[in-house]
Amino acid sequence: MALLKADFHIHTSEDPQDLVRYSARELIDMAHELGYRVLAITNHNECTWTPYLRDYARERGIVLLPGMEATIEGRHVLLINFPFSNLGVSRLEDLYPLKKDSNLIVAPHPFYPSPVALRGKFTKNLRLFDAAEWCHFFS
């Protein structure tokens, strides 16, 4: 089985919260140069993925998945490959019925010293998450 270099937690200049200098297209170009094969742009509370960006990434050998860093109960959760137009989630428990083999629920920076980190909500809802982001010494 071939290993795929991937990143599921990236922000771009289209993010309404972060001040990032590179656009989604520029990110895809950089990822291509660095050998990435799978990406999910996870801007805060909105999905930046479009068919145009999907095709742009595909032309560079990258699979671009729809993603979002959603704020749920005041905490950040990465949602990958969800139907974002009608998500309707206000509590972590609301995600359980939406879990499928075709999507991912990831705990970003779960123990980072920030009010948006999941912390105890991560361990309380451990079965909800498909993965946890390794964030240096805060994981």
Q: What is the pLDDT of residues 65-102, one digit of tens each?
A: 999 999 999 999 999 999 887 788 999 999 999 999 99
Structural fold of domain 6-138 = TIM Barrel (3.20.20)
Q: What is the mean pLDDT of residues 10-31?
A: 96
DSSP state of 44: B
Q: What residue ranges do the domains of the chain occupy?
A: 6-138
**What is the pLDDT, as a whole number, of residue 139?**
46
> How many whole angstroms separate alpha carbon 86 and alpha carbon 42?
17
> How many whole angstroms separate alpha carbon 115 and alpha carbon 53?
32
Beta bridge partners of residue 133, listed in sequence order? none
Q: Taking Cα atoms as reference points, which of 123, 128, 94 lies closest to residue 110?
A: 123
Beta bridge partners of residue 69, listed in sequence order? 44, 78
Arithmetic mean of pLDDT over the chain: 94
- pTM assigned to the model: 0.93
> How many whole angstroms separate alpha carbon 101 and alpha carbon 119?
25
> How many whole angstroms separate alpha carbon 5 and alpha carbon 38?
7
Q: What is the pLDDT of residues 102-123, one digit of tens each?
A: 999 999 999 999 999 999 999 9
**What is the pLDDT, as a whole number, of residue 88?**
84
